[in-house]
Amino acid sequence: MAIDIKGLKEFVKLAKDSGASELIYETKTMKLEVNFGSSSVMHSMPMQMSMAQASAAPAPASAPVVSIQSKAAVVDANLHVVKSPFVGTFYGSPAPGKPAYVKIGDKVKSGQTLCVLEAMKIMNEIDADMAGEIVEICVDNESLVEFGQPLFKIKK
């Protein structure tokens, strides 16, 4: 099911007019979610699109965050997902201006550092738990990640 811009606007208006802080509509093939009052955008699924991603500046607290997730993407049996072990800030490189630990297409070994998650001012290295090729980096640098949120997809 595809949703046109008119349908998307009606969905956002419905959520806003009802005073809801969050509204979710889900079918077998799609999930549509509006969240008012969130200044960060979650990048939890590869097919997610967000209106807030269009601007480089952080969204104001009153701006809605709208995401559309396609459930048509079937999980490939050859892909392993490295998930966040805790809530924190994702850093893809050891320091600002330094090269990223990994990029798409890199071959990684088990135990190799993929990123750093900062939690409570402590920097925690997140290592690959298997060897393979990085096929997707699921989050942006310096973004807040939730427990269990996918960080990387590794092709076996």
**What backbone phi and psi angles, to 5 degrees, belong to 43?**
-110, 70
pLDDT averaged over the chain?
76
Query: Is the model's pLDDT at 62 over the cut of 60?
Result: no
- Give the residue, 72 or 140, on which the prediction is more confident: 140
Report, as an integer, the average pLDDT of 74-97.
87
Query: Is the model's pLDDT at 138 over the cut of 90?
Result: yes
Query: pLDDT digits over 92-109, tens only?
Result: 999 989 999 999 999 999
| Separation of alpha carbons 2 and 84, rounded Å | 31
Per-residue pLDDT, 45: 39
pLDDT band at 142 (very low <50, low <70, confident <90, very high): very high
Work out the percent of the chain whose per-residue pLDDT is above 70. Answer: 62
Please tell me the chain's helix, strand, coil percentages from 3-state DSSP, rounded to the nearest 5: 10, 40, 50
- Give the residue, 58 or 133, on which the prediction is more confident: 133
Per-residue pLDDT, 4: 66
Per-residue pLDDT, 38: 46
Per-residue burial over 52-66, b if 16 or more Cβ lie within 10 Å, else e, is beeeeeebeeebbbb
Per-residue pLDDT, 86: 93
Per-residue pLDDT, 43: 40
- Give the residue, 57 or 132, on which the prediction is more confident: 132
Domains and CATH numbers, the chain: 5-70 (no CATH), 79-155 (2.40.50.100)
